[in-house]
Homo-oligomer: A and B are copies of this chain.
Amino acid sequence: MKKMKPKYMQIIDAAVVVIAENGYHQAQVSKIAKQAGVADGTIYLYFKNKEDILISLFEEKMGQFVENIEEKIAGKKSAAEKLLMMIETHFQLLSDDHHMAIVTQLELRQSNKELRLKINDVLKGYLQLIDKIIMEGKESGEFSSSLDVRLSRQMIFGTIDEIVTSWVMSEQKFNLRALAPKVHSLLVNGLVNCQ
């Protein structure tokens, strides 16, 4: 299995660095190869083409991302606690990897529609995780039983994504992780916060 070979991840990690530091459109294959310490041609022993690097990058990193979050929320009982942990972990993981944050929030969005559709497929794992939390919350009575799961998920994901993007564009000048409780409260209680 090719993913076992060390050069596979070596090239993906190089791609993250190069894209983060040079931008999506300045991330030439030759630059990635150089950063990875391999010859240009070697890239093509592990990836079909340039697009395949980007999709694989997203698959690997998003896979780890979702796994990480799943582990973290596994210990939490309530849906609200799971949601908080999810937001915290999401913020934490991106805070810990500035390169990856730039790549996912800014650079990879410049890819063409086709690639973005494939990226969306990978994203589905994360969205389903959110859906599961929402449904648990509805069943346990923590969340309103009349919630539209799809819209709720879009609110949660859209909010988190907007905040992270804004953080990245501000050049990560503030502590993202620290925002998690307030964001959680906003999502759970809404603008009114009748408590």
Contact = CB atoms under 8 A, between A and B. Distances in A.
Interface of A: 23-25, 83, 106-107, 109-113, 116-117, 120, 134, 137, 142-144, 146-148, 151-152, 154-155, 157-163, 166, 169, 179, 182-183, 186-195
Contact of A158 (B106, B162, B169): B162
Please name the 4 residue pairs, one residue from A and one from B, whose CB atoms are nearest each other, closest first: A158-B162, A190-B190, A144-B193, A158-B158
A157 B151 contact: no
Given A23-B113, A183-B151, A191 B144 contact: yes
Contacts of A166: 154
Given A158-B163, A191-B143, A195-B194, A152 B111 contact: no
Contacts of A155: 155, 158-159, 162, 183, 186-187
5 contacts: A106-B116, A137-B191, A147-B191, A151-B183, A162-B162
Nearest to A109: B109
A184 B143 CA distance: 16
Highest count of chain B CB atoms <10 Å: which of A120, A190, A191 = A191
A186 B152 contact: yes
Contacts of A179: 151
Nearest to A25: B112
B154 A159 contact: yes
Contacts of A25: 112
B189 A144 contact: yes
Contacts of A110: 109-113
A162 B126 CA distance: 15
